[in-house]
């Protein structure tokens, strides 16, 4: 096991949260009398934070005069319903337990809003995840390196001997901007072909495969 520090994306990497995200998205769209989105559409919309998800889902995006109230309706619904069907992917808890036993540093960096990131990590991962950072007003979100830099600061480590783990092109770009290698997971929201097209360097089909990356 080469790396001392593991920085994880959350949605599509550690947690299968697509169904709850889609349910809250469509709840808000129904509330605003806007057309609902299919699961596959929502799958394509996620990856850049929930505000970007709703920008893509709402007709006209942020130019829609009802964008703000519809987005806030999504947020309120999601904070209540983000545990309805969300679950850790198979093998994730075994991976985190192994890394914890080996005294590796672990953090989650997500473009999901801060409160939901904290709540989900606390609920699912307990003491395994030492630092969890979500979207905040005073810090640039991924693919900017800021949230990863903050996670490393809170862990008290440098980017040396650290690896980033995610499921999207945003994650690949984030790792690149941080000067870190990236492990791209194949069980998340993006396909193998999509990840390869966007420059994936390490593809893993099973969470425990992460331990074999040199």
Residues tagged active-site: 9
Q: How far is the C-alpha of 170 from the C-alpha of 165, rounded, in Å?
A: 11
Quickly count: other Cβ atoms within 10 Å of residue 122's Cβ.
12
What single DSSP character describes residue 34? Answer: -
Answer whether 188's CB lies under 8 Å from 13's CB. yes
How far apart (Å, rounded) are the C-alpha atoms in residues 111 and 143? 9
Of 157, 95, 93, the closest CA to residue 126 belongs to 93
| b/e code 46-79 from CB counts within 10 Å (16+ = b) | bbbbbbbbbbbbbeeeeebeebeebbebbbebbe
């Amino acid at each position: 096991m080469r790396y001392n520090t593991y920085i994880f994306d959350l949605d599509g990497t550690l947690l299968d949260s697509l169904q709850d995200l889609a349910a809250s998205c469509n709840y808000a769209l129904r509330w605003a009398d806007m057309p609902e989105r299919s699961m596959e559409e929502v799958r394509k919309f996620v990856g850049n934070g929930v505000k970007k998800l709703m920008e893509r889902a709402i007709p006209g995006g942020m130019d829609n005069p009802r964008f703000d109230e519809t987005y806030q309706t999504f947020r309120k619904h999601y904070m209540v319903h983000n545990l309805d069907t969300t679950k850790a992917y198979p093998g994730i808890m075994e991976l985190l337990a192994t890394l914890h036993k080996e005294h590796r540093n672990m953090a989650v960096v997500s473009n999901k809003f801060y409160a939901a990131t904290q709540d989900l990590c606390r609920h699912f991962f307990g003491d395994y995840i030492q630092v969890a950072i979500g979207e905040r007003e005073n810090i640039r979100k991924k693919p900017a390196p800021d949230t990863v830099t903050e996670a490393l600061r809170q862990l008290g480590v440098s980017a040396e001997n650290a690896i980033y783990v995610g499921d999207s092109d945003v994650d690949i770009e984030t790792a690149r901007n941080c000067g870190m290698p990236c492990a791209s997971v194949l069980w998340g929201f993006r396909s193998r072909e999509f990840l390869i097209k966007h420059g994936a360097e390490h593809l893993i089909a099973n969470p425990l495969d992460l331990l074999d990356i040199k």
